[in-house]
Amino acid sequence: MEHIRTTKVEQVKLLDRFSTSNKSLTGTLYLTATHLLFIDSSQRETWILHHHIAAVEKLPLTTSGCPLVIQCKNFRIVHFVVPRERDCHDIYNSLLQLSRTAKYEELYAFSYNPKQNESEQVKGWQLIDLAEEYKRMGVPNDYWQLSDANRDYKICETYPRELYVPRTASKPIIVGSSKFRSKGRFPVLSYYHKNKEAAICRCSQPLSGFSARCLEDEHMLQAISKANPSNRYMYVMDTRPKLNAMANRAAGKGYENEDNYSNIRFQFVGIENIHVMRSSLQKLLEVSGTRGLSVNDFLSGLENSGWLRHIKAVLDAAVFLAKAIAVESASVLVHCSDGWDRTSQVCSLGALLLDSYYRTIKGFMVLIEKDWISFGHKFSDRCCQLDGDPKEISPVFTQFLESVWNLTEQFPQAFEYNEAFLLQIHEHVHSCQFGNFLGNCQKEREELNLRLKEKTYSLWPFLLADQKKYQNPLYNPDFSPELTLLEPNTVSFNFKFWRNMYHQFDRSMHPRQSVFNLIMNTSEQNKQLEEDIKELEAKIKQRNGQSDVVLEKEQELTTHHPAPMALKSPSCFQKEPPPMPANDAVRTIEGSNTADNRYSELVSEFSKAEPAVVSLEYGVARMTC
Amino acid sequence: MRNLRFALKQEGHSRRDIFEVLTKYAFPQSHNLLFFAFVNEEKFSENGWMVYNPMSEYRRQGLPNERWRVTFINEHYGLCDTYPSLLVVPYNATDDDLKKVAAFRSRNRIPVLSWIHPETQAVIMRCSQPLVGMSGKRNKDDERYLDIIREANRQISKLTIYDARPNVNAVANKATGGGYEGEDAYPNAELFFLDIHNIHVMRESLKKLKDIVYPNVEESHWLSSLESTHWLEHIKLVLTGAIQVADKVSSGRSSVLVHCSDGWDRTAQLTSLAMLMLDSYYRTIEGFEVLVQKEWISFGHKFASRIGHGDKNHADADRSPIFLQFIDCVWQMSKQFPTAFEFNEQFLITILDHLYSCRFGTFLYNSEFLREKEKVTEKTLSLWSLINSEKSEYTNPFYSKEVNRALYPVASMRHLELWVNYYIRWNPRIRQQQPNPVEQRYMELLALRDDYIRRLEELQITNNSKISNSSASSTSPSQMVSQVQTHF
């Protein structure tokens, strides 16, 4: 690699950013083509993917060396002290180059090789089939049909090829409507609720300016409204604050005039734009990253960042949407400005509240593929996959995950997946290790000569293979049968700081016990017991079947079977937790699983048999306060 | 924290009668009536007054031993009327010494032992402030006594003194004859201030907290209003102080002396929390009852003055939610260590409910001396009777017993939370999922496990008999069964 000048630096210190006593680990820093690797004296490894690096900073020289601070998109912050300034400078420059990629082809996904053969790769990409998903929802049906209008991305470049529209919406209506909508993103079906026959539709803002009208667009909305036989009115949700929407009118855009559209109920819900969200997150990180945080600054800092208020706004909008469908059986059309940020948030969260399928592991993957990937949420721009405009970066998808996390906190038994699943997805949205999130829209993924599906891998089969890690032990499918509405309570104090997201790499911030693991262990024990029972039953059956066996065979059985049992039973009966996914296996030199390293660290920490006496070095009090 | 407002339907009917009756019975103390506890005729299967016996608690700690003795000098509360009758002091200090020390300590509350570390033999001592005053008085006996305490641990390093107050307050106390241990007078001691504020600050803080959750929860600026109450900040300081005490005793292997001004508010918080962190016994239901009974009730936390049982003067300057704060700290710990405590949230809430209710004699009066005078144990029931009679309601299903493990909670603002289930429980918008899904799931799993084990045993027996029927080589299965049983 031409950017790498120094590949190895010894005697580097890694500081704990929350320790006031300046505790540090000493070890060796390696720079590879894809990762930065730190191995400390006790052989513990810290892998940092270059794509995860958000910023590198060189601090003024100190007596112990040259400090280098690396901020990552997954909220890891590492603070190295390199003894020689020259080395530090080399690494700094290399990382600056390596973390900024100019072309898609240079992203990690194109070099990542998980040792899958071709057919597995193809199968992996076929795992999520959106046509199948629309069928599951119950479309096409008498009211909705698949439109081929956008088959060649002629009407809208940022939409997928397959779009579902009302049967009564003819091609001229679609074309006309798309011309009246920002970026051609005309109203299409996002989710269909088969019991209520109501639909969630999505689009971008109308190009109404102060007074412009478009008959086709009015027809389009009417068609959507008519496609719902159970209600004569429909909602139009503009997810922006009213002020922003009005300001957009000056630029020839704007919002629907209730007088021009028949039977619509128009509603603003006031979610702020990507720039506000970006600076809000920045403030949040400043607050949460301050070490030795003075007593009260945390709460006011948290509030001033506005972050939790924004999460609440997003969820409130989703609740409004879900209630309109479930309670009033009214169809809802959702838009913001371009219909790929806030609209994706609200549509997907609304569907999550309405349909328990999306609360399963597979269903959640489908939801992300549908409302985020296929409808053109600009992952590349928002997550800064390529070196681009910093004003396009925004944590819109992070907010979506955080909203889901808040729901999992309120409804612990409603979700099949756990926090680790959400964190892992967040990790890979930024890692550029899998092809799913590359690019800004489907057309881009197909064009560009990227041949994503041949050259890269899909994330989902890897998550599914590790399903066990991501299962919520509290999940109870009977808790919410198919189409039950979740009604979260969105009072302010229900929104908490997501410690495990923003401090997932700060080990001193983790509490040392978790009920979650206790439950996991117990359910593991139960599985073990179940197996033991089966084994014994089988044995007895076998014995009954051949009641007149010869003695030798009998002996062979008894010496053979009880042996593993005797090994197993202690593991379930003693307080020792059952074996958790071991973490040494995942450390390959490609570092295919940077995230796994972190996760398994956590797991192994929890699953370790707790010692009788925790011997904390003196001075721990200062550290934990 | 609930305000009720009744609307009377009958117009013109005088509300005066009701008002009078209500005030009379709500504030019995101000109307020369008895506390409800004295007329309460409930019956319970357990007798909560038997829970705490100071002698057996000290024995459990391995006391007295060759360095620490039990003294009966305060048997008739002659030495100190706010201390219990039974005290543990260094073996090398005579009763005469104690009397001399008492003269130099505010309200005669001399340094006595609260807890001893089973391995390091380091101790937690509690007392009140020394009467140094403006002139910087010294007392040779007190100085020697503190040195005896240090030597009792055969400790070479200095004795650590934690003054719970902010430095400024401690200095200000000199004006009223109090103060703190100066470096010159106590060369073998190190003094640290823990910056915990006094009862008045705490009272105001709780008042503000009440204002933001009642009658309506302040929604738009929830976090900053919460912050402006400083409630969590105080919780953090108390916890931080207790962590320091515990860490010093356990990891630093040094004896510590804790005091504030009179040694019955902040001192009780610190010693009891540190003991809770260090000694797993206090994390059981019975142990926690002992802890409250010992560190709070017997050592004269002024419950009557702080709560104002039956007193209509609710604006009294002596009121302060010190005990509530302690329970809040315990709750914060139980959130961080969900499997370490035998009791659940309901247990803590019940204690707080009856802290105010006067249904039980447990929290009545200011000191052991007064309780004995009023014959509380004979005439009233103990709260622990109620709790111990229905232990299962107060048991934490996740509890797994561990012995001698020190717990250090993270006292960072990122971990402390407002105890919504207590402070905002009357708000109709707070719906608690009942029963708690996590607990429920765990109980299901446990039941399932028991079921599996039973079936496994049955199968093993069948299997066993089959084997013994057909062959003589049946050794392991029978052992297996016994193994299964012993592990539970």
In tens, the pLDDT along B45-97 reads 999 999 999 999 999 999 999 999 999 999 999 999 999 999 999 999 999 99
Percent of chain B exceeding pLDDT 90 equals 60
The per-residue pLDDT for A602 is 41
CA distance A201 to A187: 6
Amino acid A615: pLDDT: 34
Three-state SS for B291?
A: helix
**Cβ <8 Å between B398 and A526:** no
B337–A543 C-beta distance less than 8 A: no
Strands of the sheet with B112-116, listed across from one edge: B112-116, B123-127, B256-259, B159-163, B189-193
Confidence class of residue B213 from pLDDT cuts 50, 70 and 90? confident
Q: Residue A162 above 70 pLDDT? A: yes
Lowest mean pLDDT among A200-214, B1-15, B235-249, B279-293: B1-15
Question: Is it the case that residue B419 has pLDDT exceeding 50?
Answer: yes
Residue A203 pairs with which residues in a beta bridge?
A335
With CA atoms as reference, report the closest residue to B115 among B290, B335, B363: B290
- The pLDDT value given to residue A451: 80
Q: What is the pLDDT of residues A474-491, one digit of tens each?
A: 888 888 777 789 999 998
Mean model confidence pLDDT for chain A = 84
Residues in chain B closer than 8 A to A412 (CB atoms): 437-438
- Identify which of B337, B437, B467 has the shortest CB distance to residue A474: B437
Alpha-carbon Rg of chain B, whole angstroms? 26
Given an 8 Å threshold on Cβ–Cβ distance, is A295 in contact with B467?
Answer: no
For Cα atoms B177, B179, B185, give the angle at the middle one, nearest 5 degrees. 110
Question: What is the per-residue pLDDT across A502-513, written as a single tens digit (0 to 9) for each?
Answer: 988 887 766 666
Q: Using CA atoms, how far apart are residues B320 and B332, in angstroms rounded to an integer?
A: 20
- CA atoms of A64 and A71, how far apart (whole Å): 21
Whole-number mean pLDDT of chain B? 87
Query: Which residue in B has a C-alpha nearest to residue A498's C-alpha?
Result: B414
Both tokens assigned to B472: 């003589």
Contact A569 B445 (CB under 8 A): no
Residue A592's pLDDT is 30
Determine the Cα–Cα distance for residues B27 and B32; give it in Å rounded to an integer.
Answer: 9
DSSP assignment letter at A535: H
Question: What do you get for the CA distance between the two ends of chain B, in Å?
Answer: 43
**In chain B, what residues touch A612 (CB-CB under 8 Å)?**
402-405
pLDDT greater than 80 at residue A579: no
A147, burial (CB in 10 Å: exposed 0-12, middle 13-18, buried 19+): buried
Q: How much is the pLDDT for A413? A: 87
Over range B462-479, report the average pLDDT. Answer: 56
Mark out the alpha helices in A456-578 (DSSP H runs).
Answer: 459-465, 467-470, 499-502, 515-545, 551-560, 562-573
Give CA–CA dist B212/B226, Å, rounded: 7
pLDDT confidence of A612, banded at 50, 70, 90? very low
Q: In what order do the strands lie in the sheet with A24-31?
A: A45-49, A35-40, A24-31, A8-15, A77-82, A66-72, A53-58
**Distance from B315 to chain A by nearest Cα, in Å?**
28
Burial class (CB in 10 A: 0-12, 13-18, 19+), B87: buried
Q: pLDDT higher for A19 or B423?
A: B423
B283 φ/ψ angles, rounded to the nearest 5 degrees? -90, 0
**Would the CB atoms of B409 and A543 count as touching at under 8 Å?**
no
The most confident of A264-268, A542-546, B29-33, by mean pLDDT:
A264-268
Give the pLDDT band of residue B219 (cuts 50, 70, 90).
Answer: confident
pLDDT at A410 over 80: yes
Q: What secondary structure, in 3-state letters, does A30-99 show?
A: EECCCEEEEEECCCCEEEEEHHHEEEEEECCCECCEEEEEEEECCCCEEEEEECCHHHHHHHHHHHHHHH
β-pairing, B256-259 with B159-163?
parallel
The residue type at A141 = N
Contact A497 B484 (CB under 8 A): no
Which pLDDT belongs to residue A337? Answer: 95
Helix axes B231-250, B199-213, angle to 10 degrees: 130
Choose the closest CB to B466 out of A473, A523, A543. A543
Predicted local distance difference test score (pLDDT) of residue B452:
85
A156/chain B closest Cα distance in angstroms: 40
pLDDT at B410 over 80: yes
Rounded average pLDDT over A130-154: 94
- A292 exposure class (CB count in 10 Å sphere: 0-12, 13-18, 19+): exposed
Residue identified by tokens 């894809």 is A34
Percent of chain A whose pLDDT exceeds 70: 84
Q: Is the pLDDT of residue B11 over 80?
A: no
What pLDDT sits at residue A604?
Answer: 41
pLDDT at B402: 77
What is residue A599's predicted lDDT score, i.e. its pLDDT? 38
Task: Assess contact for A162 and A192: CB atoms under 8 A.
Answer: no
- Residues in chain A closer than 8 A to B438 (CB atoms): 412, 474, 515, 519
CB < 8 Å to B219, chain A: 491-492
The answer to whether the CB of B383 falls within 8 A of the CB of B99 is: no
- For B318-352, b/e burial (b = at least 16 CB within 10 A) is bbbbbbbbbbbbbbbbbbbbbbbbbbbbebbbbbb
Cα gap A457→B368, rounded to integer Å: 73
Taking CB atoms and an 8 Å limit, are A621 and B408 in contact across chains?
yes
Largest pairwise CA distance in chain B: 95
The CA–CA distances, whole Å, from A308 to A241, A389, A412, A483 equal 17, 26, 20, 28
Summarize the confidence of residues A14-28 as an average pLDDT: 78
Q: For residues B368 and B72, give the distance between their C-alpha atoms in angstroms, rounded to a whole number.
A: 15
B471 falls in which pLDDT band (50, 70, 90)?
low
| Nearest-neighbour CA in chain A from B382: distance (Å) | 32
pLDDT of residue B300: 95
Contacts of A306 in chain B (CB under 8 A): none
pLDDT of residue A527: 84
CB B481: neighbour CB atoms within 10 A? 16
Searching chain A, which residue's CA lies closest to the CA of residue B213? A493
d(CA A391, CA B288): 56
Chain A positions touching B217 (Cβ under 8 A) are 491-493
* Predicted local distance difference test score (pLDDT) of residue B218: 76
Q: Do A303 and B453 touch (CB under 8 A)?
A: no
Our CA-based measurement puts residue A493 at a distance from the nearest CA of chain B, in whole angstroms, of: 7
Residues of A carrying an active site annotation: 336
